[in-house]
Every structure is written in C-alpha cells, then in structure tokens.
Amino acid sequence: MTINATVKEAGFQPASRISSIGVSEILKIGARAQAMKREGKPVIILGAGEPDFDTPDFVKDAACEAIKRGDTKYTALDGTPELKKAIREKFQRENGLAYEQDEITVSTGAKQILFNAMMASINPGDEVVIPTPYWTSYSDIVQICEGKPVLIPCDASTGFRLTADKLEAAVTPKTRWVLLNSPSNPSGAAYSADDYRPLLDVLLKHPHVWLLVDDMYEHIVYDGFRFVTPAQLEPRLKDRTLTVNGVSKAYAMTGWRIG
C-alpha cells in the first residue's frame, strides 16, 4: 500500500529522452478542427495527410482473400519474400532502381522506418538537417534518439525548397543525415531533377553524410510534374541513401498497417 501511495503522489515520471517532446502539432490542429466542425463551422481539415479517395476495390478484395486463406500469421521481421519482390519490381518499374532483396525492409509504416533508422545510426549529438516547413515527427524522432535537429528555414522565395548554399552552410562534421521530403508535407513543395542536382553535388562532397528521402507522396502530384528520387539521379549516392516509400498515400491506405 505504501508503494502504491508513493507512485500515485509522485505521478508519472517520463524518461529524459521524451520529457521535451510535446503533443504533435498535427494532432492539436486536427483536434481543434474537429471541434470547430462539431460546432457547425465550415472547416476543411488539412492537418493529417489523408487522401480524399477510398482504398481501391482490388486492394480490399486481395486483403479479404488473404484473410480467408488464413494469411494472418507472423511473417519474417523485414517483410515476406512475396512483398519484397513486389517492392523490388515497383522500384525498377517506376524509378529505374535495382535493389537486391536484402536491401529492402518492410515495416508497419514510414514513421517506424524513420525511427528505426535514426535509432540505429544516431549517436548523442549527431545532427540531422531538416528543411522547414516539415512534418513535425521528424524532429521529435531525432530528439528521442538523442540527436540534434538542424532546422533550415525555406520560404516562398525558393518554393519552400532547400537550396545548395543553405545545405552547404548547415553541414558540419557532426552531420549524420539530411532528410528530404518530396512532395512535401505540409508545404506541397516538390523537387524536380534540376532542383535535386545542386543538393546532390553538395552531398557528394561530404561522404560522412547520408541522405534519407521520404517519398510517401510520390503519386500525389499535379500539373504534369515528373517525380524523381535522388538515388535514381545520382548512383554514387545510392549506397548512402535510404529511400522511404509506401502505400498509405498513393492507395489511400492510411489506416492499414502491413508488413
């Protein structure tokens, strides 16, 4: 009884690694927008990256068939061979990238991949360059892993895109990663091959820096924009580029968790 009373009086004590992490701004915005909607106000919610169409029927049908077959057991930790094969074919078909099966890992979502990558590679004080505006989870993940987010403001004058001079100025001996998101959540900014080229040239000069690209919105593009990903533009960076992609946006599967 004494122990229970002590715990109750002391309250929850968060670990130091998360004590400085607050509630996601996206969740705050979403909650406020939902409250306004309940009040009858005309609100369009742009907080979460939620496509405005439903999961295609062929995806739903395939999932139902898999369940009926009993395809519901544990799988290999990094994804089934069949799924990895499909991912390899996707990269080859859509991006001109050839990966071996052991170069691909599958998770329950992009955020887990980002967290695992940072946890596996960042030592205390290592720096991660993040252009802003950015998806709020990026900096939180870096901080939880005891790294230092280096936030680089990018405004309308550059189309909210990172420029080579700003990247060069941000790189230090402690820089571990540069994190790029194209098309971007939340700005919508997308990098063409010409936009990427100067950034990749900077990275070529700094072999200690790795590149993490979040391509989750690859297929949410408009007005004839041609999507490209850095590894296909610069083969010399392929071995130090982690390309993150998935089905949640392209196939409106935000509530699905596959692996």
Mean pLDDT of 192-202: 98
Q: Give residue for tokens 């979040």.
A: 214
Domain parsing of the chain, residue ranges: 20-48, 57-244
pLDDT in tens, 127-137: 999 999 999 89
Mean pLDDT of 171-177: 98
C-beta separation of 241 from 210 below 8 A: yes
pLDDT in tens, 82-125: 999 999 999 999 999 999 999 999 998 899 999 999 999 999 99
Would the pLDDT of 47 be above 50?
A: yes
CATH topology of domain 57-244: Aspartate Aminotransferase; domain 2 (3.40.640)
Mean pLDDT of 201-214: 98
pLDDT in tens, 54-93: 999 999 999 999 999 999 999 888 999 999 999 999 999 9
pLDDT cut 90: percent of the chain above it: 74
Would the pLDDT of 5 be above 70?
A: no
pTM of the predicted protein model: 0.86
Would the pLDDT of 1 be above 50?
A: no
Average pLDDT, the chain: 91
